[in-house]
Structure 1
Amino acid sequence: MVTMLDYINEEEAILSNILATYELRENDELKPIRNLLILATGSSYNACLAAKTIMEKIANLSITIEEPYYFNHYGKLSDSIDAVLAVSQSGKSSSTIDAMKQIKEKNIFTLALTSDSKSPISQAVEYVIAIDIGIEKVGFVTKGYVATILQLILFSMSLGKSNGEATIEMTNYYKDELNKVIKKIPEIIKKTLLFFEQHESVLKIANRYIAIGYGPNWGTAKEFETKFTETVRKPSQGFELESYMHGPYLEANYEHILFFIETPSHNLERSTKLRDYMKPYVGETLIITTENKEAENSLSLAFECDEFISPLALVIPFQILAYKIATSKGIDLNQKIFDDFDQVLKSKRYTEEEIVGC
C-alpha cells in the first residue's frame, strides 16, 4: 500500500519533470491580470500562502487569498479584481466550485489549478492549469502540495511574461533557484529521517506542536498545522512570527514543542530572540533551517536558497515528521477514519461511480 513517505520520495522526480517541461510563453488572456483573487482551502490555501510573495514579485501582482465558503456566503468581489483563480488539487471542493460558478456569472475571468482536468472545478472555469501529478491516493497530500507551489510560481512567470513585468533574467534566476532546491530533496529527506531518530523520544510524547515562520514560510507553518493535525492528531498550530508574540505565547508549557522555521532574512534576529526566550518555558525548541547550523536542536539543510523559494524545501521535513511521529505513536495512517464524512457533509463533489468505489 502506498504511504505518505512513498509520495515524498517521488517529489524530486515529479518536480524535476514539471520544471523541465515548462515553457515560458506569452498569453493574451493573462495580460490584463494585475489584481488576482485566489480561492483555496486546506493544503491548497497553505500552498498559495507560501507562493504568494514570489508570485507578486515575479509578475508585479497584488494577490488576495480567501477561503471559498466564507467568500461565497459573506465576501464581496472587489471592483479591482481582474481574475479569480481556484486552487483545488482534487477539483471536487464543493465550496470552491460553488464560488467559481457565481463569479463566472459576473463576467470575471476564471482559472483553476487542479490535478484532474475532468473534475467539476475544471468545468466551472475558463482556463485550467494542470498540477501535473495525477491523482494522489493518500489522503494526506504531500507531493501535491509541493507541486502546487511550483505550478503557482511557474504560472506567475507566465503572467509576468504576458504583462511585461518578468524579465528573462528574473525568470532564469528563479528557475535556477527552483532547480537547485529540487535537486536537494533526497538529501533533505535523509537529514530529516536522521533528525527524527535523534529526537524521537521527545517528539513522540509531546501533547502540543507549534510551528513559527516568517515571510513566505508563514505558509509552511500553516501546512505544518494541517499535516500534523491530520496525522499526529494532537493539537497543532502554525503561527506567523509576530502573530505568536501577540498572545499565543501565554499558553506555553513543558508539553509544547516549538518548531522555528528560519532562513537568512531581516526577520532571523527576531526569530532567534523569540526562540531563546521561549526555550526555558517549553519542552523543546527545534529549528528547521536552510542555514548551516551545528546545534543539536537544529535540522540544518545547509544550502543557500532564495528566501522566496525556500518553502519548497522547508515543508518537506514537516511532511516526513508528520508521518514518522504518527507511526511512532502507533497511528495507522492507512486505516480510514470518518470515511463517510464527505458524503454526509457534502464537502466534495463525487460521481455515483466514485461513491460506490469508496
Structure 2
Amino acid sequence: MKSIEDYVNLEPSFYQGVLDHYDDLFVSTVKDVEVTKIDNIVIYATGSSSNAAYGALPFMSKVLGLPVQIQEPSISGNYLMNVSENSLSIAISQGGHSYSVVELVQRLQQAGHVVFSLTSELDSPLAEISDHVLSMGMPVEEMPYVSAGYSVVILDLILISLTIARQKGQLSEKEIKDYLQQIDQIVEALPSIISKSTEWVTKQLSIFSNAKRLSFVGYGATYGVAREGETKITEAVRISAWGKELEEYMHGPYLGLNNEDIVIFIEPNGKLAERSGLLKKFLNQHIQHVYTIYANHNQSLLEHDLELDLEIDELLASLFMTIPVHLLAYRLSQEKGIDLQHSAYPDFDKITSSKI
C-alpha cells in the first residue's frame, strides 16, 4: 500500500494526467448542461474534499463572477434544502461511498436540480445514482488519509470553473490560456517544491515532533490549506490541531495561545500579506515557534521558514502549498510510530453507516 509521501510524489503525474484529458473529463459533460442560466454554485463536500473546495473557492468566484458557497452535505440534506432553481450543485466524494453525499445527490436530483458528482471511483454508489458524473482523473487513492486526491480536487474544481466560464462567456480565450499556462508552470515546479518541502520537514522534525498543538493560519486560497493542515495532523499525528483563516484566528482563538504552541502561516503573498505580518509580529512576542511557508520569494524569510519560490497568482497557491503540510503530517506520524496502513477503529463505518 502506498503512503501519503508516495502519493505526494505522484502529484505531478496526476496533475499532468488531468490536464492532458481536460476535455474528456469536464468539457463534454459540462456542455450537456445548460449553464448560461446558472446564477450561483453550491459545492457539497466534507473532510478533505471540503478543504480542497475552500482552496479552489476564491479562484472559482473570480472567474465565474457568481456567488459560490460550500456546504456540509449532512447539514444541507437535513436542514438547508432551499436550493434555488438556477443553482448548480457540485457534490464531491473521492471514493464515492459517502452516505451523506449519496443521499443528498438523490434528493437534489429528485427535486429537479442539476448536480455534477465529482469522484475517482466511477462504479461507486455515488456514480451509479448520479445523472452527471465527473471523473477526478486519477485512480482511487489506496490510503485512507487522502493527499493527492485532495490536491487533484482543487485542480478539478479550477478546471471545471474555467470550463463553465468559457461556456458562459465570462472569460476570453486569452484569459483562459493565461490561467492554463500558470497551472502548467506549477506542474513543472512540483518536483522542486516536493524536494524543498521534504528538506524543510526533515530539518524541523525534531521541533515539530514535540508539539502538543499545531495551528495553521491562511487566507484566500490558503485558508483551504490551513483547514487541511488541521485535518491531516488530527488524523495522522493524533494531536490537537487548528486550521484557521487569518481574521478568524485574530477574533478569538489567539486568546487560547499557549507558550508551547507551534503556529505555521501559509503565506501566498497576496492581498492580506501585510495583515498576516502584523499577526506574526504579535505571535513572535509571545511564543517561540512561529513558521511561515511562503509561496514565492520573500524578503522576510527566516532561517526556519520555507520558501517555495514560485511566482504565481495567489488564487492558484493552494495547488502546491499543501505539499509541505502533507509531508509534515506523514513524517510526524512515522516519528510517533503511528500505523497509517490500517484503520485505528475498523468498526467505525460499520457502526455509524458513514459509508455505503
- TMscore range, shorter length: over 0.9
- 3-state DSSP class of the match of 2:103? helix
Query: Is structure 2 residue 119 aligned with structure 1 residue 99?
Result: no
State which drifts further: 77-86 or 223-232: 77-86
RMSD: 1.4
Query: Is structure 2 residue 200 aligned with structure 1 residue 200?
Result: no
Alignment partner, residue 13 of structure 2: 13
Q: CA deviation at 1:263?
A: 1.8
Distance 1:278 1:339 in 2: 40
Q: CA deviation at 1:81?
A: 4.4
- 3-state DSSP class of the match of 1:348? coil
Query: Is structure 2 residue 2 aligned with structure 1 residue 2?
Result: yes
Matched-pair contact (CA < 8 Å) for 1:7–1:143? yes
Matched-pair contact (CA < 8 Å) for 1:275–1:285? yes
Alignment partner, residue 22 of structure 1: 22
Matches within 5 A, 1:114-263: 114-263=119-268
Q: Which amino acid aligns with 1:16?
A: Q
Alignment partner, residue 352 of structure 1: none
State which drifts further: 17-26 or 142-151: 17-26
Identical columns (%): 33
Q: CA deviation at 1:28?
A: 4.9
Q: CA deviation at 1:124?
A: 2.6
Using the size of structure 2 for normalisation, the TM-score is 0.94
Matched-pair contact (CA < 8 Å) for 1:93–1:348? yes
Pick aligned residue for 2:312 from 278, 302, 305: 305
Structure 2 unaligned blocks of 5 or more: none
Q: CA deviation at 1:269?
A: 0.6
Alignment partner, residue 52 of structure 1: 57
Alignment partner, residue 337 of structure 1: 344
Q: CA deviation at 1:60?
A: 2.2
Q: CA deviation at 1:55?
A: 1.3
Alignment partner, residue 275 of structure 1: 280
- 3-state DSSP class of the match of 1:51? helix
Distance 1:108 1:122 in 2: 16
Q: CA deviation at 1:323?
A: 0.3
Q: CA deviation at 1:198?
A: 1.7
Q: Matched residue pairs, number?
A: 349
Distance 1:7 1:28 in 2: 33
Matched-pair contact (CA < 8 Å) for 1:33–1:159? no
- 3-state DSSP class of the match of 1:236? strand
Q: CA deviation at 1:280?
A: 2.9
Q: Which amino acid aligns with 1:298?
A: D
Distance 1:333 1:28 in 2: 41
Deviations 1:53-85 (A, max 9, x none): 111222222212100011111113232542211
Distance 1:335 1:130 in 2: 27
- 3-state DSSP class of the match of 2:290? strand
Alignment partner, residue 314 of structure 1: 321
Structure 1 unaligned blocks of 5 or more: 350-358
- 3-state DSSP class of the match of 2:321? helix
State which drifts further: 327-336 or 313-322: 327-336
Divergent runs of 4+, >6 A: none
Distance 2:64 2:334 in 1: 42
